[in-house]
Structure 1
């Protein structure tokens, strides 16, 4: 990335972060240097700064067939803001990493990571605004080098930024129904793959009435969604949908779905298509939830199945969906992270969201887990796609051992056939990915633990030249030096075959401190 491009990227990121902060801070009223504050009315905010130093010795710093060695020093500063309150609630995590390459200084870089969501109540019980933002390192092509470590200088990686804002109003129309009117604006930006840049706008008006706990419930909604890609593609979809729900029993609700949508996602001009479907929701307890929806849509059949089951020491998640994806990394959205799994696991043990977050992060630090781990990395697209995602995740918490397993399979194809998008669909109409991560961690003492992770990802296209398979194995030891300091060492081995071939071995040492 050129200096000018990097400056433009940094300016964009900080404008977005500042906008989110300015929208929240006046309503929260928290001192900028406060580590924790409660106003006595249930509002609690915590601010947690941290820093870490990571040293990597690798024999293949670019994850390429040439295999040149290097020593990579990564210094990271981060801040985490969490809060719940009567008017504002949300979380914000931001980190800035400086990467220094001992033998290849031209690769020195800065990497940003951001995950933030929040809701602010602007007018009591009427006007609200939702904010969300993320910055992450994403894989550009499913068939290019798949680096298991973002510090490796892979040319198949791009810093991707996604921000959205959604103001809305909601209220009641007497005793007849509840209404909600919402506007949406979102932007996706990629530092090294501008074809994936897009902007989305839209709005939605919905009405709901009845009570599924006692009798029939109904809903009606009208929406418009527009997506503009920098590559020139522009799509627009209008949807009118109605539902009618009936409780077959206290824990089982059946819903009928009908409507019409007008879209140009599969043709140059807008065409109308009927929507018809059914949905079944089963919630026998707070620990077991099943939702299954089937619809007839303009692209054929659409479905979404999700199942969650947890016990005091296990949590199971299954997702199976087929729907349109209009932006972001294809495939990755289907799987949940290790943090998500453990956050669900401790729902009964700690109902308070802030304390549960601290508990989950404590477990992650003790066992040396990667909170953002997913089964497959996904890839960037420059046009709308039809995506099928199947994902199975589970976590088993023992007295001293923890097992986390994630498996995902995706199948994606371009909705509007085009050859000039610059992404993987320029040469292949469909891309298939499947992979898994299996992690075993064992606590040796109150302060230290060992862990090992086995991963595998395979990507295939329509042609024999589009085949890439990556296997990785890592093992490490983590110890808590003090309540605020952690030290870890690990070793990693990765091997890629097919379209992209390389092997990589690395030794890593990491020191982290929580202020």
Structure 2
């Protein structure tokens, strides 16, 4: 399959549209408390972070490749900690192997996340204290075919592997494998329709016996187009779950709706009786020339592997801006370039506040809600995100897992930028998060608050300098209460 992808790419090379953007970023961070220690033992230091980066976007009728390759080389000038090299890379490939029939998606990525979810949560301008690297690989062959103007067939299998050397806030490496399979047939309503679907998700964790989790669901849905752009759904089926020594089967039933009052607005809702009780999913998406809004609320069964495999929903700034600019820039290559330029020129963060993926080898019950918004004006940019996550281990007859995900997470972030001059921008951000454990994690509470003031100036079309002052407070029963003040300077040059 990989040979077929390479061959297809080589044959289409002459017709491809390619954007290659190399860049390098240098940041220096000086802080009064490099390790977030108590005031009596706090140690100051200066940190130098050099980040070479290469962005590649290739689009043609045969395939699409979107890659960002980078790494943070971290040097502690005062030798307060060991130097580190943190890879930050992502490569996404979509290829058409058989025209209008067989496709394949692939992803390779390496990024950093909080090493201890109940510890210090850092932003991009931090001293990289509580960070660990997560590696992800995924290959997804699938069949997607429009059988007729009303009929659609999809068959898909996802093989995903993850490596995390700090799972559960320990130094233990735990490798994870997730196998997801999907099959669906849909007859679009005119006004009656039908959808049949089957899903199977299997999660396995190395070095952890009896930790395999299986979710299997079969659904048959009758659809009715009650009004233009409004479809109502009634669902019946079977729900199967196997975890922690339990093998449970339940009858599934539910109802839902899909409403698209315009090309820019969509609303979806689904309520079902599942093996864990009542599950639901509600989402809202709205896009205007200067505003994008996403809201989501759900209650469902999941696993740590499935959470790590999922794409961020609304927390990725590049995705929000891409959606916002889609009405003005239709070419995906030109739009991707414009998004990166906008992020660099206005000093926008790569991600917004989001809940952490809490490790547990058990099945999990997730209740979550989030709201993301981005407003792009002539001189102002405003980003806003709020979230709530409640994760609970589903315990069976086997002993409780060594690592528990029982916790509630709350958080919000507000970012504002203003162009002072055509080549100068000021920015402000406020981030607040709270993690509260319950059950086996009872008594563990961590609060993080961060305030940042910054400014950037574009020296040329390819070079931008920046400076920022950040203050962060940590109040926790799991780690030391501490605060940190950091002054940072940066230089970004795109070749």
Q: Same fold (TM over 0.5)?
A: yes
Contact 1:258–1:275 (8 Å) recurs in 2: yes
> Once the 2 structures are TM-superposed, how far is the Cα of residue 186 of structure 1 from its aligned partner?
0.7
Separation of aligned partners in 2, 1:106 and 1:456: 27
> Once the 2 structures are TM-superposed, how far is the Cα of residue 208 of structure 1 from its aligned partner?
2.2
* Cα distance, 1:372–1:318 mapped onto 2, change above 3 Å: same
> Once the 2 structures are TM-superposed, how far is the Cα of residue 311 of structure 1 from its aligned partner?
2.7
Determine whether 1:511 maps to 2:491. yes
**Counterpart in 1 of 2:175?**
197
Task: For residues 228-251 of structure 1, give each alpha carbon's deviation from its aligned partner in whole angstroms, at most 9, with x where no partner exists.
Answer: 112231122332211221111111
> SS where residue 341 of structure 1 aligns?
helix
* Cα distance, 1:470–1:419 mapped onto 2, change above 3 Å: farther
Determine whether 1:455 maps to 2:413. no
Task: For residues 448-476 of structure 1, give each alpha carbon's deviation from its aligned partner in whole angstroms, at most 9, with x where no partner exists.
Answer: 10001011001111266311111100111
Determine whether 1:187 maps to 2:161. yes
Q: 2:237 aligns with which of 252, 259, 267?
A: 259
* TM-score, scaled to structure 1: 0.87
**Counterpart in 2 of 1:308?**
285
The answer for unaligned runs of 5 or more in structure 2 is none
Determine whether 1:29 maps to 2:10. yes
Separation of aligned partners in 2, 1:351 and 1:52: 29
**Counterpart in 2 of 1:340?**
319
* Cα distance, 1:151–1:175 mapped onto 2, change above 3 Å: closer
Q: How does 1:160-309 map to 2 (within 5 A)?
A: 160-171=134-145, 177-193=151-167, 194=172, 196-209=174-187, 211-212=188-189, 214-230=190-206, 231-232=208-209, 233-265=211-243, 268-309=245-286
Separation of aligned partners in 1, 2:79 and 2:114: 22
> Once the 2 structures are TM-superposed, how far is the Cα of residue 345 of structure 1 from its aligned partner?
1.4
> Once the 2 structures are TM-superposed, how far is the Cα of residue 377 of structure 1 from its aligned partner?
4.3
Separation of aligned partners in 2, 1:228 and 1:270: 16
Separation of aligned partners in 2, 1:342 and 1:228: 36
Determine whether 1:122 maps to 2:101. no
Determine whether 1:370 maps to 2:340. no
Q: 2:364 aligns with which of 385, 391, 403?
A: 385
> SS where residue 257 of structure 2 aligns?
strand
Determine whether 1:410 maps to 2:389. yes
> SS where residue 8 of structure 2 aligns?
helix
Separation of aligned partners in 1, 2:146 and 2:426: 54
**Counterpart in 2 of 1:15?**
none
Contact 1:438–1:454 (8 Å) recurs in 2: yes
Q: How does 1:61-140 map to 2 (within 5 A)?
A: 61-65=34-38, 66-104=41-79, 106-140=81-115
Contact 2:164–2:175 (8 Å) recurs in 1: yes
The answer for unaligned runs of 5 or more in structure 1 is 1-18, 32-36
Question: What is the Cα-based RMSD across aligned positions, in Å?
Answer: 2.6
* Cα distance, 1:206–1:503 mapped onto 2, change above 3 Å: same
Contact 1:469–1:498 (8 Å) recurs in 2: yes
Moved more, 131-140 or 246-255: 131-140
- How many correspondences in the alignment? 480
Contact 1:72–1:151 (8 Å) recurs in 2: no
* Cα distance, 1:176–1:251 mapped onto 2, change above 3 Å: closer
* TM-score, scaled to structure 2: 0.90
> SS where residue 374 of structure 1 aligns?
coil
> Once the 2 structures are TM-superposed, how far is the Cα of residue 142 of structure 1 from its aligned partner?
2.9
**Counterpart in 2 of 1:146?**
121
Moved more, 465-474 or 412-421: 412-421
Separation of aligned partners in 1, 2:119 and 2:288: 40
> Once the 2 structures are TM-superposed, how far is the Cα of residue 334 of structure 1 from its aligned partner?
5.0
**Counterpart in 1 of 2:294?**
317
